[in-house]
Chains A and B, each alone.
Chain A
């Protein structure tokens, strides 16, 4: 506990009594504990609240598809929303990751100096736009683009493939995935940019000196050196995608029950977050339905925790181990 730190070290030489210094330290310690308190409150509320529904349905809560709020015949299974979350996030990654990597590579390896700052700046602004405004724009603008330019042609020519089947309306899993892709670009792009910047220049020089082209240097040396860091950036993007609420809620079509199972991209669906946003306030506290929402919240929280902690572990390892190796 008492390993020396900046101020203590210095203080040791002076006197130590019950002074303003100690009070100040204790005060900040107590206040810093707020992070732990937030974590505990959240965990406690969600775990306690979801006990009834898990007791009632057991594993069927996680693997069931039915959604029946009629009292006396209540049945809640959240599989469609878990899968909906995974599918929209998956679509988001499929589209968002290549774009983000392209941006990061452009910024670090190719862009003339004068373009670097303004472009990173624009990418950061993309992160500053509130989710609800993405939702509004998605509803009024992106939805139209999706139906006209992407979904209709796809369903016309590739409609025989199950994931492209159905009649595209624009309020569906695909559109939700695309808006998520746009929203996770800043996360993945700026983290990848940091990872690529951390790749030592001596590697690039070595590669150029044996006559590699810029593309070869990037693909074979820079990306391969930074691959675990980029992987962590992608995982963090995934973490952002699964928890994202408003824009998805406004675009996914909000289906419930078995029809919310994501069988086609052109079908309305539901994610865990959008389910909560849509219905939470209608549930009476203490009811089974209320407990269901908390159960969904807990599931979402656990998924998000696993993803973020995983990414965090990779990130620290990448920057420590590789950092050491660079210095030799």
Chain B
């Protein structure tokens, strides 16, 4: 990042952020993850999963019992060697949930606060430069109360970046603005990432937001990092039923490993399902949780059969049918138990097929989509 005001921003270079923190209480933590320069890692999890505590620990605002934090070649925390750097010593940019702008200072002065590393004479120009990069030209003299929610967030981002941080931490940065502003700010963050090459951590409980913005998503529960992966793989192949549920996946079932004519099958209710991967590694008769992304549920057309009809056909009764604009969410119930299968189809397709509550329909559960979750069969 340039020391001087510079109209063409140069890339920032800093090293990887590696975090491993443990403590039994009062807030349990068992977190282990890393974020590379230029990477955006989303920490997702329900309220109370320790996301914000982790972020505070990285910023130096919370001291965990044990652990180590390295960033950009510096050690910020190492409890075995009694290294605990104060927040002032950890060049870290933080955007707080409610932005935490100083209400008695103009936008320019808010940014200037973070420019203590520059000579006093250069701070104003540099602050204006940062505000310009956040497209806040002409608003330097405004107080936070005179700015819109989106503008405040950009001032907070300018202040966080003005310190030339080695890592950027964003704590639910889009939760305090309306939907339209949120979309615009998310787009701006995606654009901003091209300019800054430091690790970026985004704490959010919004899975869509995480999927849209993050390179990788790290799932947290009870302070524990359960799984980190690229969004596509994470949503299709959660490690465990817990992760699948935390990711708001619906179709999590339990089946039993069987053998039919020398071939492994997954018994689920009255059906023996083909599974593309993973059954061979399991023991016969083993009970196993499995998950099916709703994109791998194919509704059979009633008027003419289509390809794939022979692949794991199951029959269920429509229990719920909710029209949400162009998509209709269907929930099928089965005779064999309380489990239900939820999937979305286009509303026009639902209409064409004459679907209604109480109707029986047949669907295929695509063998390639069935993902076994052997880790926690009981969850």
Instruction: Answer yes or no: are A and B bound together in one complex.
Output: no
